[in-house]
């Protein structure tokens, strides 16, 4: 057809038809852009070292899991290489090699971490290594370095309990035996492990977990007392009461009363953790600047100061909103030092509105630092928004879900809703853990949620 004829026909098209054509094209572009945006958001699958030791014990078993993960839309895997017992998932000069747990075994000769990384990358997925930093033994199993190594035993945290000050290994606090982050020897050991893992395997990322204190009642050792006194420039006469005093409530539970140096204490502990993050980042980036440096925390920011951690941005001032924070607490934020942050939005209720409709959202549960109140962040949506607020977009934030919370109520529909909400509210999704998905056969639930 001659060009003049084509132009003539185009000019004769009804205006409405042209408008509809343009609208259709616009909608197509918008839907394509939205799809592209959703595809770009990473989906991480976490793989606990203890729970999956038998499940991931051979090359064939690893290929099976990697095929399933890739098939449902997982983009990144997280391989736990330092579980809470302090052992390592590979041969090392720094700690014993984890080859058995609770009856599950893996051959010491099998190159587990190398195979995991290789098989993930062969399918176009990225592979990250995670480490439980300050955990050095499993209290329930009574296994781990703190039980087997007298030097590590001397590093353990001192807990302030109703029975007085006692080593955490002898207390009822936590499932893991934590070591004191303020001790130079502890820091150097944990930094060496992080550096070794980065150097040996050159993963796509290193993720720190349990890089914290156990709670408000630790660490009250003599070494921490001296370091804190040096920090504030004075000697404390009434230890630990200058910091806090434990008290028993009418219902039998334990609470605490703040002492005169309480705010200084929590700011000091947060500074200990923040400085460790800076040192760890420098070690990782010194090996390969392309290795991403990340962290996992719980998304419940308001009570998180109790574990000695300020994962907010240094641009955010918590003292403007929370009475536990001094103005100096702002300086202990470390989100700015990360390449990404995983925040556990570990709540059953998905929406803030859904939470508001529940008369007793905490009945029968004690999830994620919940108390007998109804805060908006007691939901996936609320905790994700709070995490976004305090990190102030200085770092990609990946909302994280705990599969067991939905399986224990046999509610895959709620789990699917939570997946969609996390992807809507944050920059990506982390799912914990492989063992739950594989044991309960929930692969398709995740796949359908990501596809839809």
- Mean pLDDT of the chain, nearest integer: 91
Q: Is the omega angle on the peptide bond into residue 240 within 30 degrees of 0, that is, cis?
A: yes
User: 41-451 has which CATH code?
Assistant: 3.20.20.80
Each residue's pLDDT tens digit, 7-48? 333 334 445 444 544 444 454 444 444 444 445 899 999 999
Closest listed residue to residue 103, CA positions, set 137, 143, 65, 68? 143
Measured CA to CA, the distance from residue 46 to residue 127 in angstroms comes to 10
Lowest model confidence (mean pLDDT) among 39-43, 392-396, 397-401: 39-43
φ/ψ bin of 136: left (φ > 0), alpha (ψ from -120 to 50), beta (otherwise): alpha
Q: What is the pLDDT of residues 135-180, one digit of tens each?
A: 999 999 999 999 999 999 999 999 999 999 999 999 989 999 999 9
Alpha-carbon Rg of the chain, whole angstroms? 25
Which pLDDT score is estimated for 374? 78
| pLDDT value, residue 12 | 41
pTM above 0.85, yes or no: yes
- Domain extent listing, the chain: 41-451
CA pair distance 341, 387, nearest whole angstrom:
10
Task: Return the closest-CA partner of residue 383 out of 331, 335, 421.
Answer: 421
Lookup: tokens for 427: 């920059």
Question: What pLDDT sits at residue 369?
Answer: 59
Q: Mind listing the pLDDT tens digit for each residue in 188-216?
A: 999 999 999 999 999 999 999 999 999 99
């Amino acid at each position: 057809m001659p060009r003049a004829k084509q132009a003539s026909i185009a000019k004769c098209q009804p205006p409405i038809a042209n408008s509809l054509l343009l609208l259709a094209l616009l909608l197509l572009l918008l839907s394509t852009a939205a799809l592209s945006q959703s595809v770009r958001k990473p989906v991480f699958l976490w793989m606990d070292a203890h729970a999956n030791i038998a499940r991931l014990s051979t090359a064939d078993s690893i290929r099976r899991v990697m095929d399933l993960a890739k098939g449902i839309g997982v983009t990144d895997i997280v391989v736990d290489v330092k579980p809470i017992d302090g052992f390592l998932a590979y041969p090392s000069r720094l700690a014993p090699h984890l080859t058995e747990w609770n009856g599950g075994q893996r051959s010491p000769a099998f190159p587990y971490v190398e195979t995991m990384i290789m098989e993930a990358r062969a399918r176009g997925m990225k592979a990250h290594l995670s480490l439980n930093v300050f955990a050095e033994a499993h209290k329930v199993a009574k296994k781990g370095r703190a039980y087997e190594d007298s030097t590590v035993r001397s590093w353990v945290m001192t807990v302030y309990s109703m029975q007085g000050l006692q080593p955490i290994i002898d207390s009822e606090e936590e499932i893991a035996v934590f070591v004191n982050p303020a001790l130079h020897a502890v820091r150097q050991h944990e930094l060496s492990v992080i550096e070794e893992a980065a150097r040996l395997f050159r993963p796509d990322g290193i993720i720190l977990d349990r890089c914290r204190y156990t709670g408000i009642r630790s660490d009250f050792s003599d070494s921490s007392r001296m370091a804190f006194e040096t920090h504030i420039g004075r000697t404390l006469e009434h230890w630990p009461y200058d910091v806090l005093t434990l008290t028993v409530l009418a219902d039998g539970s334990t609470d605490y009363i703040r002492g005169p140096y309480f705010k200084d204490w929590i700011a000091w502990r947060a500074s200990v953790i923040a400085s460790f993050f800076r040192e760890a980042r420098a070690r990782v980036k010194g090996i390969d600047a392309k290795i991403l440096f990340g962290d996992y925390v719980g998304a419940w920011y308001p009570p998180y100061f109790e574990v000695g951690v300020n994962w907010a941005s240094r641009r955010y001032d918590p003292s403007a909103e929370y009475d536990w924070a001094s103005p100096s607490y702002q300086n202990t934020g470390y989100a700015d030092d990360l390449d990404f942050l995983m925040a556990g939005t570990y709540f059953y209720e998905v929406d803030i509105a859904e939470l508001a409709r529940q008369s007793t959202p905490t009945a029968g549960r004690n999830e994620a630092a919940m108390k007998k109140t109804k805060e908006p962040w007691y939901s996936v949506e609320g905790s994700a928004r709070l995490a976004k607020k305090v990190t102030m977009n200085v770092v990609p934030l990946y909302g994280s879900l705990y599969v067991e919370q939905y399986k224990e109520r046999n509610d895959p529909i709620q789990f699917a809703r939570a997946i969609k909400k996390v992807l809507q509210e944050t920059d990506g999704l982390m799912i914990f853990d492989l063992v739950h998905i594989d044991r309960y056969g929930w692969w398709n639930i995740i796949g359908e949620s990501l596809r839809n």
